[in-house]
Amino acid sequence: AGTLNVALHQDPGNWDPIATFLVSWGAVGSQVFDGLIIRTPDMKLVPGLATKWEFTDKNTKLRFTLRPNVKFHDGEPFDAEAVKFTFDRLLGEEGKKGPQQSNYTSIDKVVVVNPMTVDFILKSPDPVLLTKLAGYGAMIVPPKYIKEKGSQFFGMNPVGTGPFKFSEYKPKIALALERNPNYWGGAPKVDNLNYRFIAEPATQAAELQAGRIDVANQIPLSMVETLKKDSKLAVLSMDGPVALALRYNTQRGIMKDKEVRKALTMAVDRDAIIKTILLGNAKPIASFQGVLSFGNDPSMKPLPFNPAQAQAMLKKAGVKPGTSIQLDFRGPDSNFREVAQAVAGYLQAVGITVSLKPYETNVLLNDIIPNGKTGEMWQNQWGGWTFDYDNTAYAMYYTKQRWNPFDDDAKLNALLHTQRNTWDQAARKQTLHEIARYVADQALEMPLYSLNTVYGLNKRAKNLDLPADGRFRFVNATVE
C-alpha cells in the first residue's frame, strides 16, 4: 500500500525499449517490462520471462524455455510469438531508427519452436549476449498491441509484463505507475509509483529534504553529509558502473612519450581527490572499469602517487618546467570541475601548467572527441551498463572507434578481437586482464576512479533493493 515518490534526472521522452539508451529509461522501463533474463541488484543473471536457456550447436543457437501464464498489462498473453516479434522489431527497420539495435547484431534471427520455446540463431559470438538480453533493447513487448496502435502510440503508452503498469505520463514533468496485481513474480507491495523528472541534483536534494520524494537518483556529493545528518533521510553509496579517466591525446606534443604520460599519472594524488573532493564516494582504479565490472583485475594496482619520481621522469624525458597542456572536460559537471582543478594543481606541482577547457557536454562527446580535436588530456567518463570490460575496452581502444580518435594499436586490436570472439568466460577474463595491463603499460589514460552510485532516500521507504545501475524494480518496496 502507499505511494513511492521517485526523482529521476531526465525524461527519456519515449518508453519504447528500442528507442533509448538512457539510464532514466531503465529506472522506469525495468518496472514496466521484463526481459527473458533479469539482472538482480547484485549483478546476477536470473530467469525472467524465460525459465531456462541453453547454448547449442557450438554456441550458434541459444534456446529459451518461456515462462507460462504470463500476460501483458493489456491482457495479451506472452508467448514465443511475442519474443519473435520483439526481436524482429529490434533487428528490423523499426530498430534501425534507435540506438539499441547495434547491441544485438550478433543475433541473426529468432525462431519459434513452439509457443513456449524459442531459438536465437547467432551469426557471431557475443560473450556478453546474456547480459545484453537482460538489457533495455531486449525487453519483451506486446505484438498485438503494437500492431494495432502503432509504435508511436506505444512509445507514449507502453505495455509490458512488468510489476508496474503505466498509468499517466506528463512529458518532462511526471510519470505515474500503478501496481500490476497479476505480476508473475508476485504483486508489488506499493500501490503507486510516482516519478518526477528533476534535473538539478541540488533540487532533488531539496525535494528530499522537504519530504516530497523518497528516492533521489542524483544528489550532489557536497550534500551527502547534510542529508545524512537529517534523521528522516538516508544516503546510500555503492559501487557503480561509472568510471572516469583522463585520456591522453597520444598524438600531441609531450604526450607522445609514454614515460611522460606515466609521469603525469604519478604526479596526481588520486586517493586524496577521492577522499576529499568526492568525500569517499568513489574507488581508485587501475584500469578503466569499476570493481563490479567483468574483467576487473583486483591484483592490478594503480600507478603510485609519487611526484618526486614523476618530476624526475619528466626531466629525463626532456619536458621543460612550465610546459603547458590543455585538459578538456564537460563544463556543466560541477563535480568534475573540482577534480580537474585538483589535477591541474598536482600537475602544477611537477612543473606542468594545465589550462582547463570546459565544453558543453554534447559538443565534447560528439565533436571534440570523435573528431580528435581535444587538448593533451580529456575527460573520459563511461558508464558501462553491461558491467563488462569488453564493451568499455572495445569502444575505448579499438581502432577508429568513436572514443578512440588517436591510437591505432594492432596488438590491442587483436586482443580485443580475441576476447570478443570467445565464449569461454575464463579465457576471456584472462584476455581482458591482459588488455587492461597493456593499456596501463602504454599509459593511454590516467585512470582516476570509479564513481559510486549515490542515492538519497527517505527512511519511510523500505526494501528498495536499489541497484548500482539505476534500474529500479520496486517489487518488494514498502512505504510507511
Partner 1 sequence: MGGFVLKRILQAIFVLLVVTLFVSYAVRLSGDPALMLSQGAGSVTEQDLQNIRAGLGLDRPFLVQYADFVRGIVVGDFGRSFMGGTPVRGLIADALPATLALAFVSLLLSVLVSVPLGIHAAVNKGRGVDQVIRIVSLVGLSFPNFWLAIMLVLLLSVTLQLLPPSGWDGPLSLVMPALTMAIILSATNVRLVRTAMLETLSSQYITVARSKGLAERAVLYKHALRNCAIPLITYIGLQFGNLIGGIVVVEKVFNWPGLGTLAFDAISGRDYPVLQGTVTVLALVIVAVNLLVDLAYGLVDPRIRSK
Partner 2 sequence: MQPAVLPTAAAPQGRAFQWRSLEFIAGALLTGLMVLLVLLSVWIFPDRGSTMDLAARLSPPFAQWAHALGTDPLGRDVLARVLVGGRISLMVGLLSTLGASLLGITIGLVAGYYRGVWDTILMRCVDVQLALPFILIALTFISILGGGLGNIIVFMIISQWVQFARLVRGLVLSVREREYVQAARAFGVRDLSMVRHHILPNVIGPVIILVTLNVANNILLESSLTFLGLGVDPLIPSWGGMLADGRTYMQTAWWVSVFPGVAIMLTVLGLNLLGDWLRDRLDPTGKL
Interface with partner 2 by CB under 8 A: which residues? 201-202, 220, 222-223, 225-226, 272-273, 276-277, 330-334, 337-338, 340-342, 344-345, 348, 354-361, 363, 367
> Would you say 462 and 477 are in contact if contact means Cβ atoms under 8 Å apart?
yes
Binding footprint of partner 1 on the chain (CB under 8 A): 12-16, 19-22, 96-103, 152, 155-156, 170-173, 196-200, 202-203, 206-207, 209-212, 360-363, 365-367, 370, 385, 391, 394-395, 398, 401-402
Residue of 59, 54, 35, 52 lying closest to 122 (CA atoms): 59
318 versus 345: smaller Cβ distance to partner 2:
345
Extract the runs of DSSP E, i.e. beta strands, from 215-317.
215-216, 233-248, 282-284
What residue 96 binds from partner 1, partner 2, none (CB within 5 to 8 A, per partner kind)?
Answer: partner 1
185 versus 290: smaller Cβ distance to partner 1:
290
How far CA 405 is from CA of 190, 218, 234, 370, 475, in Å, comes to 48, 31, 42, 6, 43
168 versus 200: smaller Cβ distance to partner 1:
200
Q: Write down the least CB distance from residue 239 to partner 2, Å.
A: 23
Q: Write down the least CB distance from residue 256 to partner 1, Å.
A: 27
375 versus 383: smaller Cβ distance to partner 1:
383
Alpha helices in 71-176 (DSSP H): 80-91, 93-96, 129-133, 143-156
* Alpha carbon distance 437, 434 (integer Å): 5
**Furthest CA-CA distance within the chain:** 72
What residue 342 binds from partner 2, partner 1, none (CB within 5 to 8 A, per partner kind)?
Answer: partner 2
* Alpha carbon distance 168, 435 (integer Å): 47
Residue of 333, 292, 274 lying closest to 44 (CA atoms): 292
What residue 18 binds from partner 2, partner 1, none (CB within 5 to 8 A, per partner kind)?
Answer: none
What residue 430 binds from partner 1, partner 2, none (CB within 5 to 8 A, per partner kind)?
Answer: none
What residue 337 binds from partner 1, partner 2, none (CB within 5 to 8 A, per partner kind)?
Answer: partner 2
Q: Write down the least CB distance from residue 327 to partner 2, Å.
A: 10
The C-alpha R_g of the chain, in whole angstroms, comes to: 23
Q: Write down the least CB distance from residue 215 to partner 2, Å.
A: 20
Q: Write down the least CB distance from residue 452 to partner 1, Å.
A: 20
Q: Write down the least CB distance from residue 330 to partner 2, Å.
A: 6
104 versus 359: smaller Cβ distance to partner 2:
359
Q: Write down the least CB distance from residue 280 to partner 1, Å.
A: 24
What residue 182 binds from partner 2, partner 1, none (CB within 5 to 8 A, per partner kind)?
Answer: none
- The three state secondary structure string of 304-344 is CCCHHHHHHHHHHCCCCCCEEEEEEEECCCHHHHHHHHHHH
Q: Is 322 left (phi over 0), alpha (psi -120 to 50) or beta?
A: left
Exposure of 288 in the CB half-sphere (CA atoms within 13 A): 28
What residue 20 binds from partner 1, partner 2, none (CB within 5 to 8 A, per partner kind)?
Answer: partner 1
Residue of 438, 105, 115, 73 lying closest to 288 (CA atoms): 438
* Alpha carbon distance 36, 146 (integer Å): 19
21 versus 53: smaller Cβ distance to partner 1:
21
Q: What angle, 0 to 180 degrees and rounded to 10, lies between the N-to-C axes of helices 258-267 and 307-316? A: 160
149 versus 283: smaller Cβ distance to partner 1:
149
354 versus 464: smaller Cβ distance to partner 2:
354
What residue 102 binds from partner 1, partner 2, none (CB within 5 to 8 A, per partner kind)?
Answer: partner 1
